[in-house]
C-alpha cells in the first residue's frame, strides 16, 4: 500500500480512537468499573497507535522483537499511569481513586520533560534502542497527559514551580496527538543518520 495512504489511515484510526473512546466513556456512566476500563483502554490504544506510527517508520533499524517490545512499552505506560490514583488514595476502591483532592504524581507533566531529556541523552550515547525506549516512555506520558488535559489542564510541578493550565481545547489535543509521532521522528532523524525520512520508506 502506498505510504501516504497508509499513514493517512493510521491518523484516521488515531482520531477515531480519540473521539469515539471519549464518546463511549461519556456514554457509559455505569457501571463505574466498565467506564474506567473503557477510559483506560482508550489511553492505551492511543499510545499504541502513536508508537506504531513511529516504529513502523523505523522498521529497518529494529528487529521484529524490538518492534513488539517497544509497542508494548508505550501501550502499557499509557495505561498504567492511572495506577497512581490508587497509590495516592491508598485504596483499591475506584471511588476513592477517582475522588482525590489533588492530581496524583504520575500526572505531573514535568515527567514528559524528563522523558524528552532522556531521549536526547540516549541520542548522545548513540544508542537507537535506548532512545526508542525513552521515546516510548515519552509517548505514553504525553498522550495520556494531553487527553486528561482536555478535562483538567496540564499540571506542571518542579521545585519552586507548581502550575495548572486551563483545560486544553479538544481540537488542539487532537492536533498535538497527531503531530507528536512526526516531531519525534524528526528528532530521531536529526541524530541517527540511518533513520530514513517517513516518505522514503517502502511500506507494504
Ligand atoms: Zn490519567
| Per-residue pLDDT reduced to its tens digit, 121-148 | 888 887 788 899 999 999 999 999 999 9
HEC assignment per residue over the chain: CCHHHHHHHHHHHHHHHHHHHHHHHHHCCCCHHHHHHHHHHHHHHHHHHHHHHHHHHCCCCCCHHHHHHHHHHHHHHHHHCCHHHHHHHCCCCHHHHCCCCCCCHHHCCHHHHHHHHHHHHHHHHCCHHHHHHHHHHHHHHHHHHHHHHHHHCCEEEECCEEEECCCCCHHHHHHHHHHHHHHHHHHHHCCCCCCCCHHHCCCC
Q: 46 C-alpha to center of ligand 1: Å?
A: 13
Average confidence (pLDDT) over 156-172: 96
Residue 200 lies in a domain: no
Q: Domain tally for the chain?
A: 1
Can you give the pLDDT at residue 202?
A: 44
Range of the domain at 186: 3-190
Residue 178 lies in a domain: yes
Residue 109 lies in a domain: yes
Q: 81 C-alpha to center of ligand 1: Å?
A: 6
| Per-residue pLDDT reduced to its tens digit, 10-44 | 999 999 999 999 999 999 988 889 999 999 999 99
Q: 135 C-alpha to center of ligand 1: Å?
A: 19
Residue 196 lies in a domain: no
Q: 141 C-alpha to center of ligand 1: Å?
A: 9
Q: 83 C-alpha to center of ligand 1: Å?
A: 9
Amino acid at each position: 500500500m502506498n505510504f501516504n495512504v497508509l499513514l493517512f489511515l493510521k491518523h484516521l484510526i488515531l482520531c477515531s480512537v480519540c473521539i469515539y473512546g471519549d464518546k463511549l466513556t461519556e456514554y457509559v456512566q455505569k457501571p463505574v468499573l466498565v467506564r474506567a476500563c473503557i477510559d483506560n483502554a482508550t489511553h492505551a490504544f492511543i499510545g499504541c497507535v502513536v508508537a506504531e506510527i513511529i516504529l513502523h517508520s523505523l522498521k529497518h533499524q529494529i528487529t521484529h522483537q524490538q518492534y513488539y517490545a517497544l509497542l508494548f512499552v508505550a501501550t502499557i505506560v499509557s495505561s498504567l499511569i492511572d495506577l497512581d490514583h490508587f497509590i495516592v488514595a491508598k485504596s483499591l476502591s475506584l471511588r476513592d481513586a477517582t475522588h482525590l483532592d489533588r492530581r496524583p504524581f504520575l500526572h505531573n507533566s514535568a515527567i514528559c520533560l524528563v522523558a524528552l531529556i532522556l531521549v536526547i541523552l540516549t541520542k548522545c550515547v548513540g544508542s537507537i534502542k535506548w532512545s526508542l525506549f525513552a521515546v516510548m516512555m515519552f509517548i505514553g506520558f504525553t498522550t495520556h497527559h494531553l487527553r486528561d488535559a482536555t478535562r483538567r489542564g496540564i499540571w506542571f510541578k518542579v521545585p519552586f514551580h507548581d502550575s495548572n493550565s486551563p483545560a486544553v481545547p479538544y481540537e488542539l489535543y487532537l492536533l498535538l496527538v497527531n503531530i507528536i509521532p512526526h516531531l519525534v521522528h524528526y528528532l530521531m532523524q536529526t541524530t541517527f543518520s540511518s533513520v530514513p525520512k517517513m516518505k522514503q520508506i517502502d511500506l507494504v
